[in-house]
Amino acid sequence: MIIQRKRLIESFVIVLSIFAIQTQAQISHIEIPPFSSNVMIPQSRARAFAPDRGGSVEITEIGALIDILENTATTTIEIRLHNTSNRRQEAELIFPVPDGAVVTGFAYDGPGRMITAKVLPKDEARRIYDSLVAKIRDPALAEFIGYNLIRSSVFPVEANSNQKVRLTYEHLLEMDGNRVDYFLPRTESLEYKVPWEIKVNIKSKRPVSTVYSPTHNLIGLKKINLENMEEKEGPVEISAHTEKGANVPGPFRLSYLMEDDGVTASMFAYPDEKVGGGYFLLLAGLPADVLNNKDATAIKREVTLVIDKSGSMNGEKIEQVKEAALQIIAGLKMGEAFNVIIYSNSVEKFARKPVIKTRETEGQAREYIKGMTPSGGTNIYDALTEALSQEPTEDMIPIVLFLTDGLPTIGQTSELVIREVITKSNPYKRRVFTFGVGLDVNAPLLERIAAESRARAEFVLPKEDVEVKIGKVFNRLTGPILAEPELDVIEENGGYAMGRTRDIIPNKLPDLFEGDQLILLGQYVGKKPITFKISGNYLGKERSFKFTFNFEKENVKNGFVPRLWASRKIAELIDDIRQMGADSNVNRNDPKVKELVDEIVRLSTEFGILTEYTAFLAREGTDLGRRSDVMRDAEILFEERALNSRTGRGGLSQGFNMGAQREQKTLNYDNGFINENFDRVSITNVQQINDMAYYFKNNRWVDSRLVESESNITPDKVIEFGSDEYFELARKLAAQGRQGSMALGGGRGGRGGFGDVLMKVDDQSVLIRNSQ
């Protein structure tokens, strides 16, 4: 049972402002409350720093419950402790918290005698921090310089037993226009392995358009209309959570947008002089309940099912496809349109053109689908051509669900020629969602067909249920809200804003369906306010939405913005190489291939974003300073995989990786990807910390800006851990939001300890000696 004490005996929860740090020499004559042997930072290091009692107290699991009411957040962190020793011990916990946080509760379970809370004046709190650094001599503390800290003590944690501790604090959230931001400090170290589950509840009187986290995948997102509503359009409650037991590192960031008339948008900006301005992330959402408005009507859909019934589809596959087709027809609303095209050696159609769904046409389609029998080869070219050339249904968004389980074997089989059908013979702008079933499909071909038509490709592995995969895609296509959106960057007078943006990704905006959000990434030039205009078919009418942003709140703490941009940009470049593989005459010596590989290697090195093609950059023994050798190795890998591996396990695993990276919304700290065995592989010798990247080379962490010349560098300055210069640098980096660089671990996937760090500070190379 959790025991809550309002008046806590001998207590000391200490709010530490650790921005102004003193040195060990300055505090040597100040009386400081002693620390226990088991000091831990739940968001960073989960094991006691000084286990000198035959064992230690460890953190085994953490849960966070975040309740947001308007712009106030109440965060409850529950920590599970385990005492590995044969005698009772004291646990001492240090909690980094946001500015302005107020502790509202501290509780524990069990018969503990001592759990305390006392807020100290700031000057005394700084001395406590310095004493802590001096005692445990651990760079982990540097990661949270600049934050307020709460120090707490729990006694006893009984021998070989578990204990739960619960901390609750409140703070006001930052707002930027119609956007509300939440931040929970956590380490970005890949060596941090404590499983977390984070749950979020948002209550708001104003309707919420969209919820987004750039750091964690949110699942179970749902909206609840609260009872006894006083206002017509609110209040509402939105809940979501991260995957239970996940050990994804990094702070937990969450943002949500308040609804506006139609499309709502906000911008995150990251300054970077190298690109003449910086990087931006534009987040846009739709009204959450727009289709419940009696005056609003979703754009109707025209869906054409194109089904491969070649001989290889025989058995369970064809039965699953039939069931999926029946469910899709049933899922369409009366008055929407559909058609069914089946193909093998030849192409057959249910109707000459899409028909309006009625009870009669639905019944006829059901009989037609049930009578399909597999036979023959695979005529992809004619089937795709037939689907795209159909006479369209007026005032409907045309969608094609195209399924195949093999390579083209009948008729025109050239990948180049088939690919051109979607770019040159799609007069009615049909969206072609492709489904590759099994291992014998041409993954790059299906991906390009989908990408060129504002759609996406899906792959169904052996033993996966085809019906389930198709059903999930169709369910996402519910209620088209904004069709054929276009983006313009304009001046205040409405004219085209020349030279204000570069490399916007994606360059072709997708249709937005109910519940969708739009994320655009790019570079901005200059510091003048910028206006984005999104235009398209909004609920059946042409509308435009304008959003003007200034750069007053651009911040290097938005380091996720350039990293997400770089990841998507690398995916685009890789896809360009994969598509060149359709021409058998192209190899790694092609000048265009060399140019693309060079840019991929450059971006990968700078941002610390590695893929299956560039993972070797982090390998021990790879000297990034030997550029010609690096390029040769990269070109060989791209030829073997991106150019030549188009089908089978190699082709499909690349398809999965590229699909995820092209649409990436959250950070991929460990550079994880799927290998040819469909196992997830991660890279731990590269660390993405704050807005910087580090490589573990020659037993030290090296700034990506120095890594190519690392072997020839004599540091301009060497700084010892705990010295005056160390604390001075810590303050400087904290002001920039980059102090995490000083707390890097020992490398090699959890080797333990702390590594030396070679970083670039201003124009100097600085070596921080943490290992001593």
pLDDT digits (tens, 9 = 90+) for 483-538: 999 999 998 788 899 999 999 999 999 999 988 999 999 999 999 999 999 999 99
Which amino acid would we find at residue 78?
E
Q: The tokens 């931006």 sit on which residue?
A: 280
pLDDT band at residue 541, thresholds of 50, 70 and 90? very high
Those residues with Cβ within 8 angstroms of residue 531's Cβ, 6 or more apart along the chain or in another chain: 489, 490, 491, 492, 497, 546, 547, 548, 549
Average pLDDT over residues 189-194: 86
d(CA 142, CA 741): 9
Report whether 562 contacts 608 (CB < 8 A). Answer: no
Torsion, CA 311, CA 315, CA 321, CA 326, rounded to 10 = 120
Residue 307 has pLDDT above 50, yes or no: yes
Average pLDDT over residues 745-758: 63
Average pLDDT over residues 380-404: 96
pLDDT band at residue 115, thresholds of 50, 70 and 90? low
How much of the chain exceeds pLDDT 90, in percent? 65
Residue 634 has pLDDT above 90, yes or no: yes
Smallest Cα–Cα separation from 695: which of 592, 595, 609?
Answer: 609
Residue 697, beta-bridge partner list: 700
pLDDT band at residue 677, thresholds of 50, 70 and 90? very high
pLDDT band at residue 666, thresholds of 50, 70 and 90? very high
Q: The tokens 């693309």 sit on which residue?
A: 596
The whole-model pTM stands at 0.91
What tokens appear for 343 in the block? 């193909």
For residues 154 and 699, the model is more confident at 699
Which helix (H) or strand (E) element contains residue 107?
strand 102-109
How do residues 319-378 score in pLDDT, each as one tens digit? 999 999 999 999 999 999 999 999 999 999 999 999 999 999 999 999 999 999 999 999
pLDDT at position 134, please? Answer: 62
Strand, coil or helix: what is 509? coil
Which helix (H) or strand (E) element contains residue 700?
strand 700-703
Residue 701 vs residues 250, 670, 763, 764, 768: alpha-carbon distances, Å: 18, 15, 18, 16, 10
Average pLDDT over residues 743-762: 71
Smallest Cα–Cα separation from 743: which of 36, 27, 45?
Answer: 45
Residue 580 has pLDDT above 50, yes or no: yes
Smallest Cα–Cα separation from 405: which of 309, 304, 341?
Answer: 309
For residues 54 and 391, the model is more confident at 391
Using CB atoms within 10 Å of the CB of residue 725, give its burial: 0 to 12 exposed, 13 to 18 middle, 19+ buried. middle
Look at 142-146, 545-549, 559-563 and tell me which has the smallest mean pLDDT: 142-146
Residue 116 has pLDDT above 90, yes or no: no
d(CA 252, CA 254): 7
d(CA 99, CA 121): 15
Which amino acid would we find at residue 739?
Q
Secondary-structure percent of the chain, ordered helix, strand, coil, rounded to 5: 25, 35, 40
Residue 118 has pLDDT above 50, yes or no: no
Average pLDDT over residues 58-72: 93
d(CA 430, CA 433): 10
Smallest Cα–Cα separation from 551: which of 573, 571, 529, 569?
Answer: 529
d(CA 114, CA 121): 22
Look at 229-243, 495-509, 535-549, 723-737 and tell me which has the smallest mean pLDDT: 229-243
